[in-house]
Amino acid sequence: MASDDAPFLLPARRLLKNLCAATKDFPPTLFLELDSVDTNRQIGRGGFADIFLGRYKGQDIALKRLQVYQPEPNEILLNRQSLLQEVLTWVHLKHIYVLPFFGLDEKSFEGYPPCIVTPYMRNGTMNGFVKNRNGTLPDRRVDQLLFETAQGLAYLHVQNIVHGDLRGGNVLIDDGEHAQLADFGLAIVTDATLGTTSTTQAGSFRWMAPELYDPRLESKKRTKASDVYAFACLCIEIYTGEQPFPSIQPDVAVLFQTLEQKRPPRPSNSGPPDRTRAMSDWLWATVEACWAHKPSDRPDMDQVSGLIMSP
């Protein structure tokens, strides 16, 4: 469900983007003076960023340092401009289930694009959180986390933002044990940073909709509909404790399964008791709708969030 102030954010974001397009650089107000950063201790690694712990105004914060690989000097400006577009998308977002953006840090790691600064989520990722508490976390509580993720994604879609890499590792859990959608848009930023326009360069095949790598289609751009497909795969991941199609290796082999309209089986409690949950009829029906082969057959995320919590 989208935030009430969502329609008012679009003109503000557009105005700031237009202003920054003239200077082709970050607004100075986005840069923070951090209290400290432990640059020698990496606390996490995502699909597109290395995570470091720091302090800002007495609060623990996380620094996301984008992974770049020896860019040429003439690519540095392009890298900054690509990151700029996503930062300007994030800075105005405000939703209970979307990770807040604090600002940028460009002093801690020379030779890299500015680090993205966010609150530190000590409960980690959704998949790790559910695995660690699988013996005590009721199915209804897991469904609530998926519902919160769906609401956060619906909000992004109202803002015309495509996440592009939705999976359990990109949903964080805050101190109140609620979902915080993170790393939206970073797949696209990293494509540009690495100097490629390939949609399969970043992200994982196992969560990607078939249209993103169908050779018969010219456009392989990530869309809201491909986010909906990824949400279905996220549900499978959280309920089974494994990535989609865990028995199929390597990752690229999943492409052929998906293009042939094959999907992971319904989670049941017949697997290892410490991991697999039995998925309810209504959630399974939602998953099947979300990973429909044709993008136009998939529901939008507002509809999905309404379906998940239906008894």
Q: Please, what is the Cα angle at 26 between 21 and 27, to 5 degrees?
A: 95
Q: Name every residue whose Cβ is closer than 8 Å to that of residue 226 and which is 6 or more positions away in sequence.
A: 162, 164, 208, 209, 211, 212, 295
CA distance 268 to 157: 31
The binding site comprises 64
Going by C-alpha positions, the residue among 93, 208, 212, 84 that lies closest to residue 158 is: 93
| Distance from chain centroid for Cα 165 | 5
Encoded tokens for 117: 């600064």
- Phi, psi torsion values for 47, nearest 5 degrees: -65, -25
CA distance 282 to 284: 5
The binding site for ATP comprises 64
